[in-house]
Amino acid sequence: MQLDFGVAWKYLPFLLQAALMTIALTVLSQALGTIAAFFLALARMSPRAWLRRPTIAYIWVVRGTPLLLHLFFVYYAAPAFGVTLDAFPAAIIAMSASAAAYNAEIIRAGLQAVHRGQVEAAYAVGMRYGQVVRRIIVPQAVRIIIPSYMGNAISHTKNSSLASVITVPELMLTAQMIYSSTYRAIEILTVTGAIYLVLTSCLSALQMYCERLTAYEQRGLGGGRRRRLRLDEPLPTLPA
Amino acid sequence: MIEIEDLHKHFGAVRALDGVSLSVAAGEVVCLIGPSGSGKSTLLRCINFLEEPTSGVVRVNGKRVGWEEHDGRARRVSSAELARTRAEIGMVFQHFYLWPHMIALENVIEGLVTVKGMRVSEAAAKGRALLEKVGLTDKMETYPEHLSGGQRQRVAIARALAMDPRVMLFDEPTSSLDPELVGEVLRVMEQVAGEGMTMLVATHEMGFARKAADRVVFLDQGRILEVGTPKEIFGRPRHERTRRFLEKILV
């Protein structure tokens, strides 16, 4: 068997073009899925059953069924409800829905890891629920969430290849089209795999960066924060 | 300043508070003593509605906590109103509950900035003065993780003081401290008491109660068994139960 990576080189621009589609698909659905997941997580923890129960059911169904099925479902079932969706928006809907379910549980775990006493101390100084979430819970939860969230984002990136089945011209579908016309499966798949590896490596690097960024007690205070807090000015005296 | 009428708090079948009535005058320092599980913490937590009482009325500065009364009918207050009430009630917890993602100074001014909408620079001036007051001038930019228990609790006291509360509730503020760190916290509390703050303090520190309290309340099984001056309670307790408790704790 003779390998000919010249073919892969020739088609590389097409693969890179397709990689952009993979990035768009992943980033957009992950972003939408994360925003939705945040509110799902809050609803999931709500003492109100009418908020909590549907959320639990949603997460149960979506996490318990394959993404492949969701993709087909959205793409082929939508016309039955009077809307015809292009492949790309259909994939975004299905992938966002899936990302939302997975991320909701990851975010919930992070939010719940913040000690109840932290929250009580915030209520005790007079904060309201939204302020407690924004100022006390989220900043601490983000740090806890990063590793599992980024792990899930990496899976999500790879799972975007499933969108090929509903004809979204992303990396996997493009690779298939190229090797079925050139018969150079090994070369094309190798290069395609390398591109996926670059994408997911970027996410791993981003994870390390975020972890460093949130290691607050190991970083010094930034200059802006020092100035705002007037840490370098002489001590004021309390008015009696 | 604080009026409590027939307060009940039940957790299932457990009666954590079983009809407590108590009133604390402005500027008064009242210590709550009693065995673990006697309801000291629950009482304090009901005062700022961290725990919702099963029944009974709590008033702070004349205003009912958690409920409002219109034409003789009581209605739950909005969360905004409850937050406003809580801002006037300082609370210090046994386990400090400083926010770990903020330096000491930021912990102190967080309420001023987020709740009172004060500018950070303005709040910082006040926060720094308060940290100086509790003896932590050199720890302003330290994260709670790197503070000792006594230092953490003093930051927590400064955090509560920053809001200019009408009353301060202390929930066993020295119970999770190493013995050699208790003194520094008690000294700050005595200083706050000396400035005329109305204080309700759940504590096992009988020395503090004797020295700083105007009155001492002995709680047992969710009821107030007796109330008196430190002299009365520690000198000649009327109840056998109080006597036995004090004997055990004052060995």
Specify the pLDDT at position B189: 94
Rounded CA gap, A158 and A197, in Å?
9
Which pLDDT tens digit goes with each residue over A91-100?
999 999 999 9
Query: How close does chain A come to B28, measured CA to CA in Å?
Result: 20
Average pLDDT, chain B: 92
Specify the pLDDT at position B75: 87
Specify the pLDDT at position A81: 86
Task: Please report residues of A whose CB lies closer than 8 A to that of B146.
Answer: 217
Would you say residue A86 has pLDDT above 60? yes
Mean pLDDT of B190-209: 93
Would you say residue A232 has pLDDT above 90? no
Would you say residue B251 has pLDDT above 80? no
Q: What angle do CA B78, B163, B87 make, to 5 degrees?
A: 15
Q: What is the DSSP string of chain B?
A: -EEEEEEEEEETTEEEEEEEEEEE-TT-EEEEE--TTSSHHHHHHHHTTSS--SEEEEEETTEESSEEEETTEEEEPPHHHHHHHHHTEEEE-TT----TTS-HHHHHHHHHHHTS---HHHHHHHHHHHHHHTT-GGGTT--GGGS-HHHHHHHHHHHHHHT--SEEEEESTTTTS-HHHHHHHHHHHHHHHHTT-EEEEE-S-HHHHHHH-SEEEEEETTEEEEEE-HIIIIIS-SSHHHHHHHHHHT-
Query: Searching chain A, which residue's CA lies closest to the CA of residue B169?
Result: A124
Per-residue confidence at A20, pLDDT binned at 50, 70, 90? very high
Mean pLDDT of B220-235: 92
Contact (Cβ atoms closer than 8 angstroms) between residue A217 and residue B145: yes
Per-residue confidence at A238, pLDDT binned at 50, 70, 90? low
Specify the pLDDT at position B37: 87
Per-residue confidence at A6, pLDDT binned at 50, 70, 90? confident
Across the interface, which of B99, B109, B156 has its CB nearest the CB of A136? B99
Q: Which of A229, A232, A233, A238 has the highest number of chain B CBs within 10 A, making it the mutation to test binding with B?
A: A229
Q: Decide if A126 and B97 are in contact by the 8 Å CB cutoff.
A: no
Residues counted in chain B? 251
Query: Searching chain A, which residue's CA lies closest to the CA of residue B109?
Result: A229
* ipTM of model: 0.93
Would you say residue A237 has pLDDT above 70? no
Q: Decide if A131 and B114 are in contact by the 8 Å CB cutoff.
A: yes
Specify the pLDDT at position B148: 94
Would you say residue A240 has pLDDT above 60? no
Q: Which pTM does this prediction carry? A: 0.83
Residue % of chain A over a pLDDT of 90: 79
Average pLDDT, chain A: 92
Would you say residue A207 has pLDDT above 80? yes
Contact (Cβ atoms closer than 8 angstroms) between residue A5 and residue A69: no
Counting other chains too, the contacts that A201-208 makes at CB distance below 8 Å and 24 or more residues apart are: A203/A150, A203/A153, A203/A154, A203/A157, A204/A150, A204/A154, A206/A150, A207/A146, A207/A147, A207/A150
Residue % of chain A over a pLDDT of 70: 97
Task: Please report residues of A whose CB lies closer than 8 A to that of B88.
Answer: 126
Q: Decide if B146 and A217 are in contact by the 8 Å CB cutoff.
A: yes
Across the interface, which of A127, A217, A226 has its CB nearest the CB of B145? A217
Would you list which residues of chain A are within 8 Å, Cβ to Cβ, of chain B?
115, 117-118, 120-129, 131, 135-136, 139-140, 143, 216-217, 221, 226, 228-231, 235-238
Per-residue confidence at B74, pLDDT binned at 50, 70, 90? confident
Across the interface, which of A140, A226, A230 has its CB nearest the CB of B125? A230
Which pLDDT tens digit goes with each residue over A26-71?
999 999 999 999 999 999 999 999 999 999 999 999 999 999 999 9
Per-residue confidence at A215, pLDDT binned at 50, 70, 90? confident
Would you say residue B28 has pLDDT above 90? yes
Q: Decide if A238 and B83 are in contact by the 8 Å CB cutoff.
A: no
DSSP 3-state of A29: helix
Specify the pLDDT at position B70: 81
Which pLDDT tens digit goes with each residue over B84-143?
999 999 999 999 999 999 999 999 999 999 999 999 989 999 999 999 999 999 999 999
Per-residue confidence at A234, pLDDT binned at 50, 70, 90? confident
Per-residue confidence at A239, pLDDT binned at 50, 70, 90? low
Query: Searching chain B, which residue's CA lies closest to the CA of residue A218?
Result: B143
Residue % of chain B over a pLDDT of 90: 80
Specify the pLDDT at position A226: 82
